Amino acid sequence: MATNLNSHIWEPWMFRAINLASLAEGQTSPNPLVGAVILDEKNRLVGEGFHLRSGEPHAEIGAIEQAGSLAKGGTLLVNLEPCCHRGKTPPCTDAILRSGIKRVVVAIQDPDQRVSGKGIAFLKESGIEVVTGILEKEAAFLNRAFIFRNRTGRPWGTLKWAMSFDGRIGLSNGKSKWISGEKSRKRVHSLRAKNDAVIVGGGTVRSDNPLLTTRGIADIEPLRVVCSSTLDLPKEAQLWNTELAKTLIFYGPESDARCLENLPSGPERLCLEENTPIKVMEALAQRGCNQVLWECGSSLATKAIQQNCVQELSLFLSPKLLGGVSAMTPLADFGFSSMEQVFKLKEVSSNKSGEDFVLNMLFDNYG
């Protein structure tokens, strides 16, 4: 809840800060998405900014620099608590004090334990009025991946698949190109651009030979991840060309590492103590990934869901009927014996993409 009875005054400007923050989606990891707006004493816009990527100035700094002397006596609105520690950049709280800003309006507290409430406390102790809880729900949803990684130690996982109206992702003979339309395929490129890594299994590499890039949409292509239990991978594959994007191969101690000698030297290789979705996600979190996209086959997708490595679904539903009892389906058997055991989902959005329908859904208990 907001701590200010005049919260309605700040909501339109906080919307602006949130929208600014979203402009850098997919670029800021391991940092959060942050936008900032500065109003003068008469609540007129005098400065704004957003954090573009790790190592570059935070949103508050950009807004303060733009506002200049007009920030004095004004109000700063930011969708995440200002930092009070020195990382790759100096503390934002120090810059706020120097600017002469008299009020800071914050949507949510930073989940990072280096900050978490300390930035707000420092500002209050320094005599600055602090208003919290403005558009808290919207701000939390924008940074759901950053919040989730700080809380659980693994990235937010989104599972994507394209399927027919009768729930098939391919024919009985394995043919699956193309279920979705061209517009939807381009939309997948944009979806990848919002993620830090894209994960597939060895079976997908063997059957589809995917490229897994954004086709130039992202300034920095997401890390392409291959999870292989056997390392029975083709000697030639588009993923082995690391000039376009980096590739990382995860495998376990049970795999025959000699198979890697047949592959080009470009992809990074990493043996995990246990080659499971949750260990893969923990390793990616340690590399600073906030959000990853699963584009894998049914077996790996099922394991990822079972190990709580998928929090969101992005489904492309094509108006086609494939039929066939043995046709390919997006998930394997969960082993449920009653309807009380099934996973429950809640809708985030639904819209059209050409002839296709796109559904974005969250797991009911995604933590």
Q: Is 178 annotated to bind ligand?
A: yes
Q: Is 229 annotated to bind ligand?
A: yes
Instruction: Give the residue from 216, 169, 115 showing the smallest Cα distance to 331.
Output: 169
Q: Is 204 annotated to bind ligand?
A: yes
User: How do beta strands 312-318 and 156-164 pair?
Assistant: parallel
Burial of 19 (0-12, 13-18, 19+ CB in 10 A): middle
CA distance 294 to 17: 30
Q: Is 99 annotated to bind ligand?
A: no
Q: Is 212 annotated to bind ligand?
A: yes
Q: Is 295 annotated to bind ligand?
A: yes
Q: Is 236 annotated to bind ligand?
A: no
Distance of CA 248 to the CA centre of its chain: 18
Q: Is 192 annotated to bind ligand?
A: yes
Alpha helices in 126-272 (DSSP H): 136-142, 144-152, 182-193, 202-208
Instruction: Give the residue from 161, 162, 160, 167 showing the smallest Cα distance to 324.
Output: 167
Q: Is 164 annotated to bind ligand?
A: no
Sequence letter at residue 360: N
Q: For residue 346, give every residue at least 6 positions away whose Cβ sits within 8 Å of its Cβ, in sequence order, or none.
A: 361, 362, 364
Query: Is 60 a catalytic site residue?
Result: yes
Instruction: Give the residue from 253, 255, 358, 366 showing the smallest Cα distance to 310.
Output: 366
User: Of the listed 11, 41, 56, 60, which one is catalytic?
Assistant: 60
Q: For residue 156, give every residue at least 6 positions away whose Cβ sits within 8 Å of its Cβ, in sequence order, or none.
A: 144, 145, 148, 149, 290, 291, 292, 311, 312
Other Cβ atoms less than 10 A from the Cβ of 320: the count is 16
Q: Is 208 annotated to bind ligand?
A: yes
CA 157-163-166 angle, 5° bins: 130
Instruction: Give the residue from 22, 43, 31 showing the smallest Cα distance to 139.
Output: 22
Task: Compute the radius of gyration of the chain from its Cα atoms.
Answer: 23
Which positions make up the binding site for Zn(2+)?
58, 83, 92
Among all residues, which ones are annotated catalytic?
A: 60
Which positions make up the binding site?
58, 83, 92, 162, 176, 178, 192, 204, 208, 212, 215, 229, 295
Which positions make up the binding site for NADP(+)?
162, 178, 204, 208, 229
Which positions make up the binding site for substrate?
176, 192, 212, 215, 295
